Amino acid sequence: MKVRDLTILIGVICIVLMMVIPIPVGLLDVLLIINISAGLAILLISMNTQDALQFSIFPALLLITTLFRLALNISTTRNILQHGEAGKVVHTFGSWVAGGEIAIGFIVFLILVVVQFIVITKGSERVAEVAARFTLDAMPGKQMSIDADLNSGLINEQQARDRRQKIEREADFYGSMDGASKFVKGDAIASIIILFINLIGGFIIGMAIHGMSFSESLQTFSILTIGDGLVSQIPALLISTATGLIVTRAASEGNLASDLTLQLFRYPKLLYIVAGTIALLGIFTPIGPVATLPFAGLMAFAGYRMQTALVKRHAEEELMVEEQQIEEVRSPESVISLLQVDPIEFEFGYGLIPLADTQQGGDLLDRIIMIRRQCALELGLVVPVIRIRDNIQLKPNEYVIKIKGNTVARGELLLNHYLAMNPGFDDESIIGIETMEPAFGLPAIWIDEATRERAELTGYTVVDPPSVVATHLT
């Protein structure tokens, strides 16, 4: 076993032993500082992750930190009730927040507990529950999307396998977060109960065992209780906030800081409106311009700087694109991209563009979709995506079919005409342009709309140009 793994195991065992073994006050101060540092580090990491899966260990880490915080709570409670002290960290936090007024310090601490429990913890729990539910519900659709991309040739087997693994990891992560958020909620409830145990139990023990007066006991144990609550609730607040940030992170290419600067301040002109509103609020209300005008000026200046930076960034992006295009033209390796050959290609001259243009009534794309579906159902063969493009090097009415870049078939069409194939005898009354049916090589003629009905009555097989192409491609 590696030293790192052994260290983690010993650390977890020591956390459990802290609940039953008394800890010296000096060591307790160090552990409390470590607890605060760990909470701050977890919050900063969650703010800088681009994807929740980058911090996939978070649910297990949340359980360990919660257990560590509860062990510290039990240790500080033991020292408070037994010795009437819990170290410099607890006493400093309690004295600093109370500021000589026990009632004020107690109210501030209760507000902090309410904010941490009702707002952040409850919100994070609900978001984690909904995220887990929606992630599990979306799994079949995501799997079908991966299969469709794989069958169409857009991705290979390795890419499909990686995407499936990512979906499984997302489901496991959000399911674990749904359960781990319950630990945060339970920790907040336990902290409130421990608060009253320290206050009431310490007050009674101080007078009954330590011989303190009423006011001295109330002063001592109130400060220690507030300090103990703060050193446990501040890390809990940080980790609860990190939990909310992790489960609410949407798909993004940047961390929280970059997303805030790019999205929240994407419209610098709106800051001018905010600045004007704040300025008018100070001028026409008793608030006064002294309090509002400096902030309004700061907002206006920020909007100006952001607008200037936005214009500069757009100019730099355009210049970068132009330089990249020039570099691609000059680079001898620019032909490498041309080596990518599509499995199946259908190219046509500019005269046949209306066949593929839906705005001109063309339904070639729909016909190709039906052909691929027909091949899949009847032959069990998944035909790759057929790339359709115009080619000015072809004749206006010519088309070619390529497989792996090699021409395997070609033909010519006449739009606004119909291909008529005789039933075995020629009718001199049917006049048209002689040609060959491209799919089977049968003799045929191109006829106009006026001749179509007479040809059908005579027994000719009459086909429109899109059907000719579809038959040939099939």
pLDDT tens for 368-426 read: 888 888 888 888 888 888 888 888 888 888 899 998 888 888 888 888 889 888 777 77
pLDDT tens for 326-345 read: 665 455 544 555 556 778 88
pLDDT tens for 88-116 read: 888 787 777 666 567 777 777 777 777 77
Please report the pLDDT score of residue 100 as a whole number. Answer: 59
Alpha-carbon distance values, 208 to 201, 211, 214 (Å)? 10, 6, 10
Written as one string, the DSSP assignment of 365-407 is HHHHHHHHHHHHHHH---PPPEEEEE-TTS-TTEEEEEETTEE
Look up the CATH number of domain 344-473.
Answer: 3.40.30.60
Domain boundaries, the chain: 14-254, 265-335, 344-473
Instruction: Point out which residues pair with 440 in neighbouring strands.
Output: none
Give 152-165 as a 3 state SS string.
HCCCCHHHHHHHHH
- To the nearest whole percent, how much of the chain has pLDDT over 90? 1
CB 386 within 8 A of CB 356: no
Please report the pLDDT score of residue 98 as a whole number. Answer: 60
H runs (alpha helix) in 19-57: 25-48
Instruction: Point out which residues pair with 421 in neighbouring strands.
Output: 461
Secondary structure (3-state) at 56? coil
Query: Which tokens belong to 214?
Result: 């009423």
HSE on the CB side for 158, CA within 13 Å?
0
Furthest C-alpha separation in the chain: 129
Alpha carbon distance 2, 435 (integer Å): 80
pLDDT tens for 222-279 read: 777 777 877 877 888 888 788 777 777 654 555 666 666 666 667 778 888 888 998 8
Average pLDDT over every residue of 436-442: 83
**Pick from 124, 244, 115, 128: nearest CA to 192:** 115
Average pLDDT over every residue of 149-173: 81
Residue 87 has pLDDT above 50, yes or no: yes
Global model pTM greater than 0.75: no
Please report the pLDDT score of residue 400 as a whole number. Answer: 92
Query: Which tokens belong to 397?
Result: 């009415």
Please report the pLDDT score of residue 251 as a whole number. Answer: 47
Please report the pLDDT score of residue 256 as a whole number. Answer: 63
pLDDT tens for 40-83 read: 888 888 888 777 777 778 888 888 888 888 888 888 888 887 77
pLDDT tens for 171-197 read: 787 777 777 777 777 777 777 787 777
Sign of CA dihedral 429, 435, 441, 447: negative
Secondary element (H or E) of residue 433: strand 433-436
Mean pLDDT for all residues in the chain: 79
Please report the pLDDT score of residue 42 as a whole number. Answer: 87
Please state at what angle helix 122-152 crosses helix 214-247, rounded to 10 degrees.
20
Average pLDDT over every residue of 360-368: 82
pLDDT tens for 270-327 read: 888 888 998 898 888 888 888 888 888 988 888 888 888 878 877 887 778 767 766 6
Cα angle 59, 194, 129; round to 5? 30
